[in-house]
Amino acid sequence: MVLVAQELPLMCLMLLLLCRESGVGAQPGQGFTLQQPQPKVTVAAGETLTLNCIASGIAGPGPVMWLKGWGSGNKTVYDQKNEDPSSRVTRAVPESDTDFTILIKNVQPEDMGTYYCVKFVRGSTGEDEVFRRGSGTEVSVQAKPSPPLVSGPEQRARPGQPVPFTCTAGGFFPDKIGVKWFKNSNPLGAQPPQVTEWKMKTYNMSSSAVVTLQKDDVRSQLTCEVTHSTLPAPLPGSYQLSRVLRVPPSIEVRAEPSPAEVNKTVTFTCLVKEFYPAEVSISWLENGTEIKGQNLSRPLELPLGLFELRSRVEVQATEEKNGSTITCTVVHDAQAPASSSAVLLISNPTQGGLSNEFQMDKGGNLRSSLLLLGMGILLEKGLLGGLLFFLFKRMNRKASEMLPYPAPPQFPAPAARSQGLATASSDV
Ligand SMILES: *[C@@H]1O[C@H](CO)[C@@H](O)[C@H](O)[C@H]1NC(C)=O
Ligand SMILES: *[C@@H]1O[C@H](CO)[C@@H](O)[C@H](O)[C@H]1NC(C)=O
Ligand SMILES: *[C@@H]1O[C@H](CO)[C@@H](O)[C@H](O)[C@H]1NC(C)=O
């Protein structure tokens, strides 16, 4: 009977009822109908859902109820004879015998389903039995996605390294969602988001993008923007690229003055430039043994957000320290140490110009340069051979005392050479 009523128009049902009951006379239930005028309702999560139900005609004693679903798994949403004042379900017109419209506060995605307005009457066994039901209202609850969350790798990465980022948002319905990525205000390419069913009737999404970091990204921001039918405007989530960026410093050591006069003080300055984050520690070594230096300040922030730090050490230019290697070692952000060195040079008061040619440590190969030079000279100036060989031996010995070897001197042109060599030979 009930199934038939569902299929046939109302008029037909009325006719059927009249036919069957004609001759029996007016009885309870004659012409009784329950009307649910809303076949479908869409409501946003958190709002109040209104479900309309109007009864007309006369029926026997028994409550009107609202059920969610039919058959096994139905749930009683409202029971006229068992009202719960603490429930989020209330009557629109309390106590009415015809208007059974209900209001459901703070609707959630799990409230989705088909709701039936049902009239029960007491059956022969004394139990309430289904007498009539409305045609059902299908409720869909639209849920906003949670604000997108952008996550990056655990480890920092250097400029030039491609780094994957993930954007997630959840709890939305329906499942159609748009995701856009930006670095600062520039759009980034990304795969379409992956949408997965989450709790009952809601979805989660995950989107990935790869960003190649740059040195000047300390102040850059990554944005993931979500668009959904429930949102009046795109919903952004952001990530500061400084959280994953590591820019290793460049390191340079300068000696001042160089060369220095004997027993004067030489100041070695270590310039640690353009690094991020700011965590650095600097130590100094003199021929491999630690010496005490002093940082000139805390790291200074440069306009692009990178840092710079200077450290200084003073060394007494005693004669035996000539050729000592002074090394600045930098540990940046718990990474492997990096270093740079300069050589302490003491000018020879009697030698003047020549020693000026010896500059900072460039890891040169003085020994082989001198060997070639010496051979060239021997061939060119046979007469001076003996003297030059002696000089070569002398210089070679000096060079081997220095570690590492300084760059080869720029020897003067052949005409001037004999003069320079004569000067060098004067202190033999
Ligand atoms: C609702 O569910 C109960 C228990 O599962 C069942 O006994 C009852 O017949 C169902 N009612 C309807 C109207 O489907
Ligand atoms: C440098 O100092 C040392 C020790 O103090 C001294 O013996 C030497 O004569 C000094 N040399 C010069 C050139 O002043
Ligand atoms: C120090 O070493 C440089 C290079 O080896 C040399 O030219 C200079 O004469 C040396 N100075 C002294 C004072 O020995």
Average pLDDT over residues 163-179: 96
For residue 394, name the pLDDT band (cuts at 50, 70, 90).
low
pLDDT over 70, % of the chain = 75
Confidence at residue 28, expressed as pLDDT on a 0 to 100 scale: 55
- Per-residue pLDDT tens digits for 267-319: 999 999 999 999 999 999 999 999 999 998 899 999 999 999 999 999 999 99
Instruction: Give the 3-state secondary structure of residue 194.
Output: strand
- CB within 8 A of 35, min separation 6: which ones? 53, 54, 55, 56, 134
- Please give the average per-residue pLDDT across 35-60, as a whole number: 95
pLDDT of residue 425: 34
Architecture of domain 27-142: Sandwich (2.60)
Most confident of the following: 77-86, 246-255, 382-391: 246-255
Mean pLDDT of 145-169: 97
Cα 115 to ligand 1 centroid, rounded to whole Å: 14
pLDDT band of residue 27 (cuts 50, 70, 90) is low
| 250-349 has the same fold as 149-243 | yes
Out of 203-207, 268-272, 282-286, 403-407, least confident range: 403-407
In this prediction, residue 329 carries a pLDDT of 98
**Of the options 3.30.930.10, 2.60.40.10, 1.10.1040.10, 3.40.50.10800, the CATH number for the domain spanning 149-243:** 2.60.40.10
**Test site for ligand 2: of 262, 264, 348, 351, most ligand atoms within 8 A of the Cβ:** 262
Instruction: State in Å: Cα 119 to ligand 1 middle.
Output: 14
Q: Is the CB of 271 under 6 A from ligand 2?
A: no
Q: Could you give the dihedral angle defined by the CA atoms of residues 45, 48, 50 and 51, in that order, rounded to the nearest 10 degrees?
A: 50
Please say if the pLDDT value at position 120 is more than 80.
yes
Is the sign of the CA dihedral 50, 51, 52, 56 positive or negative? negative
Confidence band of 84 (pLDDT split at 50, 70, 90): confident
Distance CA 10, CA 70 (A): 21
| Amino acid letter, 272 | V
Which pTM value belongs to this model?
A: 0.66
- For a pLDDT cut of 90, what percent of the chain falls above it? 68
Cα(181)–Cα(187) distance, integer angstroms: 6
How many C-alpha atoms does 199 have within 13 Å on its Cβ side? 9
Q: According to the model, what pLDDT value does residue 296 have?
A: 87
Cβ atoms 339, 327 nearer than 8 A: yes
Mutate to test the pocket of ligand 1, among 72, 78, 114, 119 (most ligand atoms within 8 A of CB): 72
pLDDT of residue 69: 97
Number of Cβ within a 10 Å radius of residue 161? 14
pLDDT(221) > 60? yes
- Is 342:285 a contact under the CB 8 Å cutoff? no
Give backbone dihedrals phi and psi of 417, rounded to 5 degrees, phi first.
Answer: -60, -45
Domain 250-349: what homologous superfamily?
A: Immunoglobulins (2.60.40.10)
Query: Quick one: 92 exposed, middle or buried, by C-beta within 10 A (0-12, 13-18, 19+)?
Result: middle
Question: CB of 242 closer than 6 A to ligand 3?
Answer: no
Q: Does residue 230 carry a pLDDT above 70?
A: yes
Domain ranges of the chain: 27-142, 149-243, 250-349
Average pLDDT, the chain: 81
Report which secondary-structure segment, H or E, holds 212.
strand 203-212
Q: Which two tokens stand for residue 304?
A: 């692009």
Q: How confident is the model at residue 416 (pLDDT cuts 50, 70, 90)?
A: very low
CB 390 within 8 A of CB 423: no
Determine if ligand 3 sits within 6 Å of the CB of residue 358. yes
Per-residue pLDDT band at 157 (split at 50, 70, 90): very high
Which of 29-41 are b and which e, b meaning 16 or more Cβ less than 10 Å from the residue's Cβ?
beebbbebebeeb
Residue 164 has pLDDT above 80, yes or no: yes
145: preceding bond cis by omega (within 30 degrees): no
pLDDT above 50 (res 21): no
Ligand 2: centre distance to CA 264 (Å): 10
What residues contact 416, with CB distance under 8 A and at least 6 apart? Answer: none
Dig out the tokens for 231 from the structure: 């949102």
Give the span between the Cα atoms of 239 and 153, in whole angstroms: 12
Average pLDDT over residues 201-228: 96
CA 415 to mean position of chain CA atoms: 66
